[in-house]
Amino acid sequence: MSLHRAHSTLHPQDGTAAPANAPPSLRILMYSTYFPPEFSGAAQQALMLARQLRRLGHHVEFVTVRWRDLPEDDVVDGFPVKRLYAGRRRKHRELRLWFNLCAYVWKRRRDFDLLHSHGAYYTNSIVGPLARAAGLKSIVKASLANDDLYSIGRTVSGRLHLALLRRVDACVAISRDLVREFSDCGVPSQRIHYLPNGVDTALFHPVDAAERQRARARLDLPSDRPLALYAGVMDDRKNIEWLARQWVAQDAFGTDALLLAIGPQSREDTSGELIGRLRGLQTEAPRHFCLRAHATDIDDYLRAADVLVLPSHREGLPNVVLEAMASGLPCVAADVSGTRDLVQDGRTGYTYQPDDATALASAVIGALSPGGRDLGRNGRRIAEDSFSLESVAHDYSRLYTDLLAAKE
C-alpha cells in the first residue's frame, strides 16, 4: 500500500500549524471497548496518545461500544467518536459488535489509513482481517498481562482469537512480559513491538513543600500528616480492600499517614458490595482511611501526596505509577507484571510480593522516610528519559509510517 500524503501543513483537527519536522499526516481510527465517560485506563492512555498524534498533524477518530444511553455520535476532546451497538445477549455479543464494526469501517474505508485497537482481546482482534479486507493496516495493543491473551489457542474462542491475531500487522506490548506473551502464542517477532505507555511530563511534575500544602488546602486534606495515595478502580484485581484493611489494622504501620483512595466503583461490583465495605471502613477509621470518587484532577492529588501505593494483583503498565514517577513521588507497588517495569526497588520506590503485609509495611516506612524524596527524584528522571508521552507518540508515528510503507 502506498503511503498517504499530508493534505496540508495545518493541523487537520484544530487548524493549528503542525511541527515543521512532522511526519506525513495519517488518518487513524482507534478502537477502544470503553471510552469516556466510561472509565478505562486503556482509554485514558488512548486519548492522551491521540492528543499528541494530533499535535504531530495526524487525524484521529474513535470507535467504541455503545454502553448505557450514550449518544451514537459524539465528540470527546475534539475527536469524533462513534459508538456501536453490541447486542443484548450475554453470550456472543461480539458477533453483533463485529457486524456493526465491519459495516462502519467498510463504509468509511477510504477515510482512514490504519485501525489501531487499544486492547488485544479476542473481540479486539477482528481489526486484523477487517483492516486487510478494507485495504488498511492494523495494530492491536495489549494492555494487561495474563489477561488480553490469557486463553489464546486453548479454547474454541481462543483458537479463533489466535487466527484473528495472525492477521494483525503489528502487535504492541506495553511491558516486557507482554512481549513474551505475544511471542509465546506464536506471533512472529518482527510483528511484536515494545512500546510502553507514556506520561505527560509537563502536566505531572514535582512540586516543593509550599505547593504541596497549597494542593492539600485546595483538596481539603490534612496539612500536618503524611499522605499516601491510591488511585484506580475499586476492584478485586487492584486489591484496594486488602490494602485499606491492612492500613487500618496496623495503624498506618506507625507512620500516622492517611491512605487516600480515589477512583470509580468497578463495573464488576454491580451491587456495590466492595465499595460499600470501603465506605464502612472509612466510617470506622477516618484518621487512617479516606475514600473519594473518581477525580479528573489526579495531577493535583499527586501534588498533595507523599507516596503512591498500588497493591494490584495484575497490571499492564499502570498509568498512575507513571504519573506518580513524573510527579517526583516514591512508589510502593506489588511486584507484578508491568509495575516491575517501572518501580525499581530501592531506586524509584519499593516493591513487595502481593498480599505480603510485612513487606508492605517495610516498603511504606521506607518510602515515607527522609530518603523517599530521593527515590522520587530518580523516578522523575526515568519518566522523562524513557516514558515521555511526546516520545511515545513519535514512536507510534514511525510505526504507522513503517507499516504503510511495507510491502505485503
Please determine, for residue 189, whether its predicted confidence score (pLDDT) is greater than 50. yes
pLDDT (tens digit per residue) in 47-96: 999 999 999 999 999 999 998 889 999 999 999 999 999 877 666 678 88
Torsion of CA 39, 43, 47, 49, to 10 degrees: 140
Question: What are the Cα distances from residue 1, in Å, to 4, 96, 121, 404?
Answer: 9, 30, 27, 6
Band (1; pLDDT cuts 50, 70, 90): very low
- Can you tell me which residue has the cell 453470550? 91
Q: Which ranges in the chain are annotated with CATH 3.40.50.2000?
A: 27-197+389-405, 209-386
Instruction: Count CB neighbours of 350 within 10 A.
Output: 25
3-state secondary structure of 24: coil
219-239 pLDDT, tens per residue?
A: 999 999 999 999 999 999 999
Contact at 8 Å (CB) between 93 and 129?
A: no
User: pLDDT tens digits for 191-211?
Assistant: 999 999 999 999 999 999 999
Alpha helices in 220-272, H assignment, sequence order: 240-249
Pull the grid cell for residue 121: 482481546
pLDDT at residue 206, as a whole number = 97
Cα atoms in the Cβ-side hemisphere of radius 13 Å centred on 382: 23
- Tell me: pLDDT of 9 over 70: no
- Secondary-structure class of domain 27-197+389-405 per CATH: alpha beta
pLDDT of 364 over the 90 cut: yes
- Report the C-alpha dihedral over residues 395, 348, 329, 258, rounded to 10 degrees: 130
The pLDDT value given to residue 89: 65
Count the neighbouring beta carbons within 10 Å of the beta carbon of residue 98.
18
Cell numbers linked to 72: 451514537
Measured CA distances, 323 to 26, 230, 257, 330, 334 (Å): 28, 12, 21, 11, 17
Q: What is the pLDDT of residues 309-363, one digit of tens each?
A: 999 998 888 999 999 999 999 999 999 988 988 999 999 999 999 999 999 999 9
Distance CA 296, CA 283 (A): 24
Which pTM value belongs to this model?
0.86
115/136 Cα distance (integer angstroms):
7
Q: Where are the beta strands (DSSP E) in 19-159?
A: 27-32, 59-65, 73-76, 79-84, 114-118, 137-142
Count the residues in the chain. 408
Using a CB cutoff of 8 Å and minimum separation of 24, what contacts does 85-91 make?
A: none
From first CA to last CA, the distance across the chain in angstroms is 8
pLDDT of residue 161: 92
Distance CA 245, CA 281 (A): 8
Q: What is the 3-state secondary structure (H, E, C) of 274-327?
A: HHHHHHHHHHHCCCCEEEECCCCCHHHHHHHCCEEEECCCCCCCCHHHHHHHHC
Question: Is the pLDDT score of 5 beyond 50?
Answer: no
Peptide bond into 318 cis (omega under 30): no
Whole-number percent of the chain with pLDDT over 70: 93
CA–CA dist 59, 22 (Å, integer): 13
CA 376 to chain centre: 21
Which residue is associated with the grid cell 507484578? 336
Assign domain 209-386 to a CATH class: alpha beta
